[in-house]
Amino acid sequence: MKPMTTISTEAETLPDDNAPPVDPVPAATPLTGDTSSRSSPAAARARSVQSVLEKLFELYPQLFGAEFRPLKLGVFQELLAAHPEQFQRESLKAALGFHTRSTRYLQSVAAGHKRHDLQGNPGEEVAPEHVYLTLLELFRRRQARAREDLRPKFRAQLMAAYEASGLSRQDYQAKVQNSDADATALLEEAFAEREQKLAKCEALRRTFESSGKSADEFAGMYGIDKRELAAAIKA
């Protein structure tokens, strides 16, 4: 399987921020490295990012603390306006980019949490295409470290996100389409699995309805898990 395209899921949060996703050092952990390189431009930028992340944690623990929350669109500008004496544009931009590309942040998006304002109030839903890209990026990171094939779990997550979106298949695919052939293939496989599951549920439901048996009798007769039968009847 070819490597998937690296995608920044929160590019709309920060102007002109197209850097690839990376796993950040936790805000409370000092950045370390070769002492001979601590005076380099890269080391200086890292210290600047660390400082801003620590300040964000101090000011907004409900967003940048133990649990990360998806940030509302435009939060970059709001932070600059609210704290002109504490944040500089470029260092804040870098720190937020670092934060929103972290695995913990992406996990919060993937979990379906709404975007939050600076007061910690939930607002709008994260757009379906951004949830999709988040799931894709998390899958890419995990698969790179895992020995087992994580594609079955990823396909299930894709379909859960699709169903949560409330969109038709056509509209959903139109929103999430991209140039990554492997990602497109996985999405098609996920939809195919979903159609097979729905067809199986429909056949089971019709067989049950025509049997004249109770759910318990039918499940015992055919050795079917009662939860599977209940799901088929409900569908």
**Mean pLDDT in residue range 98-106:** 96
* Domain 35-127, classified CATH 3.30.70.3270, yes or no: no
First vs last C-alpha separation in the chain: 35
Asked whether residue 48 carries a pLDDT value surpassing 50, the answer given is yes
- Residues 182-222: tens digit of each pLDDT: 999 999 999 999 999 888 888 888 888 888 888 888 888 88
What's 61's DSSP letter? H
Q: What is the pLDDT of residue 167?
A: 97
Residue found by looking up tokens 């395209």 in the block: 5
Q: Please tell me the distance from the alpha carbon of residue 219 to that of residue 213, in angstroms, as a whole number.
A: 9
Task: Return the structure tokens found at 104.
Answer: 């913990």
Name the residue ranges covered by the structural domains of the chain.
Answer: 35-127, 157-234
Residue found by looking up tokens 């056949």 in the block: 203
Q: What is the pTM of this model?
A: 0.75
Q: Which residues, including other chains, have CB under 8 Å from residue 90's CB and lie 6 or more apart? A: none
> For residues 98, 57, 132 and 162, what is the CA-based torsion angle, rounded to 10 degrees?
180
